[in-house]
C-alpha cells in the first residue's frame, strides 16, 4: 500500500499520546492513597464512567476485527458483535450495583466478603491475573501486527519496537496517573473511536443516499461469495463451536475483572447503574456503526483487496477510511486504532496490578498489616513487572494467531468468575468450598480444554501443527467449562461444611448489597 503516509499517521498518533500524557500528569498524585490509585477516589460521574467503560471494552478486535469480519464474511461478523452487546445486560441486571455496594477495589473483595478470606481471595486473584494476562498478550501481539498495516513498517524488529513502545506508554499512564489517569485515557479514546466510526458511517450512508438496502446490494456485488454474505455460515462453520463462543461472550463480560473494577470509580450504586446504561448505548451504537462500516468496506474496497492487504481483515476499516477520505482520514483512523489498544492495555494493567498489590500482597502475604503508602508502591512496581511480561509475551506471540486468547479470556471470566459472583450474591447457602471448587474447576477446565483443542495442536493453523493431542474438538471451551463451574459450585457447597459465622456474614453481605448500607463512599481529596 503505497498510499500509506507514515508521517501523517505518526503526527496524529503523536498528538494523541501528547494530549493523554499531559492529562495523565495533570491528574497524577505522587502520594496517592489506595482509594485514589485503585478507584480514582470514586469521583467519576456515571456518565463519565460509562464512556470510560466503552473505552475499556471496545478493543481493536471490536473495531478492526468486526469491521473486517463483516467486510469479508458478512453476516457472521455481525453475529459476533451481538454477543458482546447482549452480555452487558448480565452486568446491568445482576452484577454492577450489588458488586459496587459490597466491594472496595477488586473482584476478590466481593467474592471473599462472606467466605473464608485467604483461600477465596487467592483463587479470585489468580483468576483475575489469568484473564488479564491472556487479554493483555492478545492485545500486545495484535498491536505489533497492526504496525505493518497502519504505519507502513515491516519486519520483526519494527513490530517488536512498536510492542515495546505500547508497553512503555501503558506503564507510564498507569504508574503516573493511576486509575484516574487510565480512566481519562479511556474516555478520550472512546470519544475519538465512536466519533471517528460515526463520521465514517455517515459518509458511507451518504454515498448510498441513506439506503441500507443499496449498500447491501453493492456489498453482494463486490463479494466473491455473493448473496452468502447476507446470512450466517461463512466464518463460523461449526454451530456448536459458535454456541460455545456465544455463551462465553454473553456470560464472560460480567466476570471480566477490568470491567468490574470500573464500577468502583463512581460514588454509588446508582451511578454504577447509570454507567452501565451509558455504556450499553455507546457500545450498541458503535456496533451498529461497524455493521455499516463492514458492509461499506466490502462494497467500496472489496473483500479480495482486503484479504491481500498487510494485516488482512484488520485492514478493512483503515482501507475504507482511505477510500472515503484519503490519506488524512486513514491516518486519523489508524491513530485511533492505536489509541484503542493503548487504552485497553492500560485498563488491564491497572486491574492486574491492583489485584496483585491489594489481594495477594496486602491481604494474603501481609494479612492486612501494611504501612500507609506501601500498597500503592507495590502496585506501581507490579505495573512495571506486568508491562515487561506483556512486552515479552507480545513479542513472542507476534507471529502466532492469538485471536483465541481473547475468547479464552472471556471463557475464563464466564467459568471461573461469574458462577461465584452470582452464587455469593444470590444463593444463601453457598460457601467457601463451593467457591473454590467452582473457581479452580472453571479456570483449570478452560485452560486444559484449550490445550487439548485444535487451537494448540492437530491442524495446520495450530500453534504446534506437527503434534496432535487435540482430543477436544472445539476451539471454545465455554460450552463445557461454564456449566461445569456452575455444577461444581453446587457440589462443593453441598459436600463441605459451613463456617460458624456463615449466617451472619451472609446476612451482612445480603443487606449491604441490596440496600447499599455501608458501601464505600467517594473521597473528596
Partner 1 sequence: MPDSDPIAERSLQMQASPEFQRLRSRFMRFIVPLTVLFLAWYLAYVLIAGFAPDFFATRLGDSYITVGLLFGLAQFVSTFAITMLYSRWANRVYDRDAEPLREQMEHAAMVGGR
The reply to whether 510 sits near partner 1 by the rule CB under 8 A is yes
Sign, CA torsion 472/478/482/483: negative
The reply to whether 483 sits near partner 1 by the rule CB under 8 A is no
Binding mask 19-58 for partner 1 (x = CB under 8 A): ----------------------------------------
The reply to whether 193 sits near partner 1 by the rule CB under 8 A is no
Which residues within the stretch 57-76 sit at the binding site for partner 1 (CB under 8 A)? Answer: 75
Q: Which stretch binds partner 1 (CB under 8 A): 130-138, 167-175, 436-444, 496-504?
A: 496-504
**Distances, alpha carbon 512 to alpha carbons 124, 199, 500, 504, in Å:** 21, 44, 20, 12
Nearest alpha carbon to residue 472 among 484, 497, 491, 455? 455
Which CB sits closer to partner 1, 189 or 273?
273
Nearest alpha carbon to residue 16 among 148, 186, 141? 186
Determine which residue in the list 38, 236, 289, 361 makes contact with partner 1, applying CB under 8 A.
236
Determine which residue in the list 21, 161, 277, 389 makes contact with partner 1, applying CB under 8 A.
277
β-sheet bridge partners, residue 457? 464
Find all residues with CB under 8 Å of 503, minimum gap 6, and list them: none
Smallest separation, CB 290 to partner 1 (Å): 12
The reply to whether 374 sits near partner 1 by the rule CB under 8 A is no
Smallest separation, CB 426 to partner 1 (Å): 8
Determine which residue in the list 168, 288, 364, 384 makes contact with partner 1, applying CB under 8 A.
288
The reply to whether 90 sits near partner 1 by the rule CB under 8 A is yes
Q: 278 and 110 in contact (C-beta within 8 Å)? A: no
The reply to whether 328 sits near partner 1 by the rule CB under 8 A is no
Determine which residue in the list 42, 273, 358, 380 makes contact with partner 1, applying CB under 8 A.
273
Give the span between the Cα atoms of 147 and 164, in whole angstroms.
12
Give the span between the Cα atoms of 99 and 95, in whole angstroms.
6
Q: Which stretch binds partner 1 (CB under 8 A): 16-24, 83-91, 465-473, 487-495?
A: 83-91
Site residue total, partner 1 (CB under 8 A): 56
Torsion, Cα 149 150 153 154, to 10 degrees, reads -10
Q: Which helix (H) or strand (E) holds 207?
A: helix 156-207
The reply to whether 367 sits near partner 1 by the rule CB under 8 A is no
Give the span between the Cα atoms of 432 and 129, in whole angstroms.
20
Determine which residue in the list 119, 284, 310, 325 makes contact with partner 1, applying CB under 8 A.
284
Which CB sits closer to partner 1, 204 or 333?
204
Q: 77 and 213 in contact (C-beta within 8 Å)? A: no
Coil, strand, or helix at residue 51?
helix
Smallest separation, CB 496 to partner 1 (Å): 22
Which CB sits closer to partner 1, 279 or 435?
279
β-sheet bridge partners, residue 464? 457
Which CB sits closer to partner 1, 242 or 338?
242
Smallest separation, CB 266 to partner 1 (Å): 15
Torsion, Cα 382 386 392 397, to 10 degrees, reads 160
Sign, CA torsion 371/378/105/272: positive
Q: 340 and 196 in contact (C-beta within 8 Å)? A: no
The reply to whether 270 sits near partner 1 by the rule CB under 8 A is yes
The reply to whether 518 sits near partner 1 by the rule CB under 8 A is yes
How many Cα atoms occupy the beta-carbon half-sphere of 6 within 13 Å? 8
308-339 burial code (b ≥16 CB/10 A, e <16)? ebbbebbbbbbbbbbbbbebebbbbbbbbbbb
Residues that bind partner 1 (CB under 8 A): 75, 78-79, 82-83, 85-86, 88-90, 92-94, 97, 212-213, 216-217, 220, 227-228, 230-233, 236, 239-240, 242-243, 246, 250, 270, 273-274, 276-277, 280-281, 284, 287-288, 426, 501, 503-504, 507-508, 510-512, 514-518
Amino acid at each position: 500500500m503505497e498510499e500509506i503516509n507514515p508521517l501523517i499517521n505518526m503526527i496524529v498518533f503523536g498528538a494523541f499520546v501528547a494530549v493523554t500524557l499531559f492529562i495523565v500528569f495533570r491528574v497524577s498524585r505522587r502520594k496517592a492513597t489506595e482509594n485514589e490509585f485503585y478507584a480514582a477516589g470514586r469521583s467519576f460521574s456515571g456518565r463519565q464512567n460509562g464512556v470510560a467503560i466503552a473505552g475499556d471494552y471496545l478493543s481493536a478486535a471490536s473495531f478492526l476485527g468486526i469491521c473486517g469480519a463483516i467486510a469479508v464474511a458478512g453476516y457472521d461478523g455481525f453475529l459476533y458483535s451481538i454477543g458482546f452487546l447482549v452480555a452487558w445486560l448480565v452486568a446491568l441486571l445482576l452484577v454492577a450495583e450489588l458488586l459496587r455496594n459490597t466491594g472496595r477495589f477488586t473482584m476478590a473483595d466481593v467474592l471473599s466478603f462472606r467466605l473464608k478470606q485467604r483461600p477465596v481471595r487467592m483463587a479470585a486473584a489468580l483468576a483475575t491475573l489469568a484473564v488479564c494476562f491472556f487479554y493483555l498478550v492478545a492485545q500486545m501481539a495484535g498491536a505489533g501486527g497492526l504496525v505493518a498495516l497502519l504505519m507502513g513498517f515491516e519486519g520483526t524488529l519494527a513490530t517488536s519496537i512498536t510492542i515495546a513502545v505500547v508497553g512503555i506508554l501503558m506503564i507510564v499512564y498507569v504508574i503516573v496517573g493511576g486509575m484516574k489517569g487510565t480512566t481519562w485515557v479511556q474516555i478520550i479514546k472512546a470519544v475519538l473511536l465512536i466519533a471517528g466510526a460515526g463520521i465514517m458511517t455517515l459518509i458511507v450512508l451518504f454515498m448510498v443516499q441513506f439506503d441500507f438496502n443499496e449498500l447491501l446490494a453493492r456489498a453482494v456485488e463486490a463479494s466473491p461469495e455473493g448473496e452468502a454474505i447476507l446470512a450466517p455460515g461463512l466464518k463460523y462453520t461449526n454451530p456448536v463451536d459458535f454456541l460455545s463462543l456465544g455463551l462465553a461472550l454473553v456470560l464472560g463480560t460480567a466476570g471480566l475483572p477490568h470491567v468490574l473494577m470500573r464500577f468502583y470509580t463512581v460514588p454509588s450504586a446508582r451511578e454504577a447503574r447509570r454507567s452501565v446504561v451509558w455504556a450499553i448505548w455507546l457500545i450498541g451504537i458503535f456496533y451498529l456503526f461497524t455493521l455499516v462500516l463492514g458492509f461499506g468496506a466490502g462494497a467500496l474496497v472489496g473483500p479480495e483487496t482486503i484479504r491481500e492487504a498487510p494485516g488482512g481483515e484488520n485492514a478493512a476499516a483503515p482501507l475504507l477510511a482511505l477510500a472515503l477520505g484519503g490519506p488524512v482520514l486513514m491516518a486519523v483512523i489508524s491513530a485511533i486504532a492505536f489509541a484503542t489498544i493503548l487504552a485497553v492495555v492500560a485498563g488491564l494493567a491497572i486491574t492486574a496490578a491492583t489485584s496483585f498489590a491489594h489481594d495477594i500482597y496486602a491481604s494474603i502475604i501481609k494479612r492486612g498489616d501494611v504501612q500507609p503508602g506501601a500498597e500503592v508502591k507495590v502496585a506501581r512496581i507490579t505495573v512495571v513487572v506486568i508491562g515487561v511480561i506483556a512486552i515479552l509475551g507480545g513479542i513472542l506471540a507476534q507471529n502466532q494467531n492469538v485471536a483465541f486468547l481473547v475468547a479464552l479470556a472471556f471463557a475464563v471470566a464466564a467459568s471461573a468468575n461469574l458462577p461465584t459472583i452470582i452464587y455469593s450474591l444470590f444463593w444463601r447457602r453457598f460457601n467457601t468450598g463451593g467457591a473454590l471448587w467452582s473457581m479452580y474447576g472453571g479456570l483449570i477446565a478452560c485452560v486444559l480444554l484449550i490445550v487439548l483443542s485444535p487451537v494448540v495442536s492437530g491442524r495446520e493453523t495450530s500453534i504446534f501443527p506437527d503434534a496432535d493431542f487435540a482430543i477436544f474438538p472445539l476451539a471454545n471451551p465455554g460450552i463445557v467449562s461454564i456449566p461445569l463451574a456452575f455444577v461444581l459450585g453446587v457440589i462443593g457447597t453441598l459436600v463441605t461444611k459451613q463456617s460458624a459465622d456463615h449466617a451472619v456474614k451472609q446476612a451482612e453481605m445480603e443487606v449491604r448489597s441490596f440496600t447499599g448500607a455501608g458501601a464505600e463512599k467517594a473521597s473528596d481529596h
